[in-house]
Structure 1
């Protein structure tokens, strides 16, 4: 994220704000910025007296302000970090007085995860005026593959599109979880490696042949034998392949296919943009487009809604995951 890079570069150049209010639904960047400030503003010798880490559930806003108003000892500045600051949500407005006139020798970091402050609030405006307010937004699923590619590129690695897709389908959009797995791969594989589906399967435990990505591909190609094999594997490994998630991802595939049918401009660049998919995977949608007419796709979407309800235990108490997966495939292929 460009904004994160700019904040880090500003700190490196000595342009340090007295307040960093880090908020948002995506905790990954909040944690990374907090960690960077914690590790890089003060020297190791200065940290003993001048760096304090507080936790929102253990302190009040008044406690934080009291610590922030202290003067540094034998250093130019002190750092006060408030982690899990969302625990102070009910009294966050009490920061107004401090934000209006922050201590210039203090760097106050407020890590306010999973929530955001209304930018029209006085406290938010004051923090942004005299410090910095950063919002870490959740990435959409179709953006995570590019994020993985950028992170790995920065570490000196490449990744094949299918391998990135496997990570997204298995780990979702949780950047912290994905980054943990990428760091494991960086330890195992030599720098300069191109990460493949085989590496993902061998080191992370995601099957390169039995995953939702391959199931959707088999369905799109009307490869019934392969689809039923994958479904049987899912039924035998329900913890790694939750039925609700499987149905949801297949539903998403056919919803995109319905949208693809309706596109007037099917130029690859426009289609990939409208469907929010990596252009590399557009060929799978082209094959499915030929195999499933628009009317058939509409019927499948309705069927998958019904299967989704059953997968959540409504009206299907006697049906196993295996039975529901088979029912899904029978209705798709018929």
Structure 2
């Protein structure tokens, strides 16, 4: 039976219970979860006094595997544990040699390897050794469709509610960079009036500068509803505010939505729960827009729309286009989607 992989929440739960492993190999494309776990270990395993002698933070570009092993083999001073954090570990050459240390690690050392923008080859011995005695955690990029749920969950842990439209606006504006997204959420928390426990679209508009009526989320809604007037008003607003509404962000969101709409047509169950399950959405309400869009767009039309978005993306990058502005490209695309 395959060993079940621990999630970030599983790892943090263990750490809060003071259940420590000899090694945490944190890897993957999403830096946010790697930093979250490493920072928790850095901040909480040792007291401030213990950190003075027992916390080592090194960077991959400045060291080799021998340096890591030597640091890990040291015994703690006046403490039960020592913590060794290796940041930017993807720059360390011959990391496979760490296997020799892991065959007989010190139980008093907590070694944290932060390997960003890539992963360890799971077929090699090092991955097997890490998995045997410690934590091998892959931090994967979150999907755009999962962002509203991430925002809602993050704020819930802070004791706050987020209106669905507000969560969608933020997801649309920031995208899948979780470090930036959580930074924006923390800014929102600071600006909330005393006693207020709910984030509204108005707060997003006032404090982050996203128009609650003219943004990619509202453009997508206008296209789902086939509201020609509203869609063109939004494009006009985008044309007048190009810096806050770059065409690449708009095309990325539209491509994601209509690509998922294509997948929704293959769902055995086309109810909201069925489509949510097909698309990997956390809650059925996130599938409502897809259900609504399926009433307006046939499968064939959706396929054509995906092709038109690709074509518009190429034109926005200068392929086959020498004169059209971004606003004109978007205006032409919206016309083709709606007709």
Shift of 1:273: 2.8
2:228 to 224, 227, 242: 224
Equivalences for residues 251-330 of structure 1 within 5 A: 251-260=255-264, 265-276=269-280, 279-280=284-285, 282-330=287-335
Q: Name the residue aligned to 1:183.
A: 186
Distance 1:285 1:12 in 2: 40
1:106 to 109, 113, 121: 109
Equivalences for residues 27-38 of structure 1 within 5 A: 27-38=31-42
2:30 to 26, 29, 38: 26
- Other structure's SS at 2:269 match: coil
2:161–2:198: 8 Å Cα contact kept in structure 1?
Answer: yes
- Other structure's SS at 1:112 match: strand
252-261 or 39-48: which moved more? Answer: 252-261
Q: Name the residue aligned to 1:236.
A: 240
Distance 1:79 1:263 in 2: 48
2:6–2:137: 8 Å Cα contact kept in structure 1?
Answer: no
**For 1:293-325, what per-residue CA distance to the aligned partner results, in whole angstroms no more than 9, with x for missing partners?**
444444333333322221121011211112112
Q: Name the residue aligned to 2:134.
A: 131
Shift of 1:170: 1.3
251-260 or 76-85: which moved more? Answer: 251-260
Distance 1:32 1:298, change over 3 A: closer
Q: Name the residue aligned to 2:143.
A: 140
Q: Name the residue aligned to 1:194.
A: 198
Gaps spanning 5+ residues in structure 2: where?
A: none
284-293 or 61-70: which moved more? Answer: 284-293
Aligned-residue CA RMSD (Å): 2.3
List, as ranges, runs of 4+ consecutive aligned residues in structure 1 with deviation greater than 6 Å.
Answer: none
Gaps spanning 5+ residues in structure 1: where?
A: none
1:156–1:191: 8 Å Cα contact kept in structure 2?
Answer: no
- Other structure's SS at 2:107 match: coil
Distance 1:184 1:104, change over 3 A: same
Distance 2:287 2:184 in 1: 27
With the length of structure 1 as denominator, give the TM-score of the two structures.
0.91
Aligned length: 333
- Other structure's SS at 1:81 match: strand
2:272–2:285: 8 Å Cα contact kept in structure 1?
Answer: no
Distance 1:191 1:33, change over 3 A: farther
Distance 1:20 1:61 in 2: 16
Is 2:37 aligned against 1:11?
no
With the length of structure 2 as denominator, give the TM-score of the two structures.
0.90
Distance 1:276 1:101, change over 3 A: closer
